[in-house]
Each structure stands twice: as structure tokens, then as C-alpha cells.
Amino acid sequence: MRSCRISKQILVPLVDTEMVVWFLGPISNGGSYPEEEFVNWKLQFEKDSQSSFVIRNSWVKKEPGKKLSYYICHRSGSFKPKGERIRHMKASGSIKSGSTCPAVMNVTAVTLDGIVEINVRYRSVHVGHDLEIGKLQLSKNERVDLAASLPAAWYSCGENIR
């Protein structure tokens, strides 16, 4: 309904916006790509703030070399079931908060003459939900580490029982 949109419009100007900018030159052999630099920064930011941002949409502007991406808080919005549900919802419920969280990231990547500028404007204040570490997904590296440690734990557990 309209009341939700009005409350979101009122909240947005009250929250501070921070900005991070990278200027990255041409990529030499063995260098990391600008997108990797951003992804590493984003993963570290999410780990430090115990939050997660998912890409909402991304598009390439008509201007050559300009790409825009829009990330939102992974808890923002409400759960929308797809199709007719035969099973009941899980007991712990959805990770969605049921409201719009103002925490967002606007990422602009501009490439000009081999130099890439990545401009990140983000709002890090979360509203409408708590920052619960139990609601976060494990990163790919964390899943690999956990999977590698499981068999060792199983073997040591079996030795302790006998």
C-alpha cells in the first residue's frame, strides 16, 4: 500500500550515506580485477557489520563503459511463496523482516581508457530487524572450510565414544 512507500521516503533522508571510491589502473599480469577488489571489500564489510547485501538489479548504461549495480539488505522485504505451497513453512520462519530496510549499496563502475573507477555509495543503518548472525548465509570459503573440517570431527568423535 501507499503508507509503506511514504514511510520509506521519510526514513531515507534521515540516514547518513557513506561513500568509497577506487581508482584502479590498467590490469597487469598477476593483478586483481577491480570487480574482485570490490567483492573482497564487500565480503569484509559484511563480515564486520554482520549483515549481507544481495544484488537487486544491475544494468549497463547507454554511456560506454558505465555499469550500475544496486544491492539491498538480504532481510529487506517479505517472503513471497512461489506457486501453491503443499508443505508448511519451516518452523524458524523466513529470514525476511517483512519491512523495507534502508541499508543499500549503489555501485557505479566506469571504465575510461583502461582505468576503472568503482564508486560505492552505501547506507549501513539497518531498520526493522536485528543483525542476527544466525540469519546470515555462510560464504563460499566458510562452507569449504566447514566441509573440510567435518570428516576429521566425525573420526575424532567416533574415537571418543569407543
Q: Write out the three cell numbers for 101.
A: 530496510
Q: How far is CA 70 from the centre of its chain?
A: 10
> Please, which residues have CB within 8 angstroms of residue 102's CB and are 6 or more apart in sequence?
8, 11, 12, 15, 123, 125, 126, 127
Q: How confident is the model at residue 1 (pLDDT cuts 50, 70, 90)?
A: very low
Report the pLDDT value the prediction gives residue 132, as an integer from 0 to 100: 65
pLDDT in tens, 45-76: 888 877 888 888 777 777 778 888 888 887 77
Residue 100 has pLDDT above 80, yes or no: no
Per-residue pLDDT tens for 11-35?
445 455 565 555 555 544 444 456 7
What gap in Å lies between CA 100 and CA 72, rounded to an integer? 9
Per-residue pLDDT, averaged over 121-138, amounts to 71
Q: What percent of the chain has pLDDT over 70?
A: 56
C-alpha cell at 14: 534521515
What's the pLDDT band for 9 if we cut at 50, 70, 90? Answer: very low
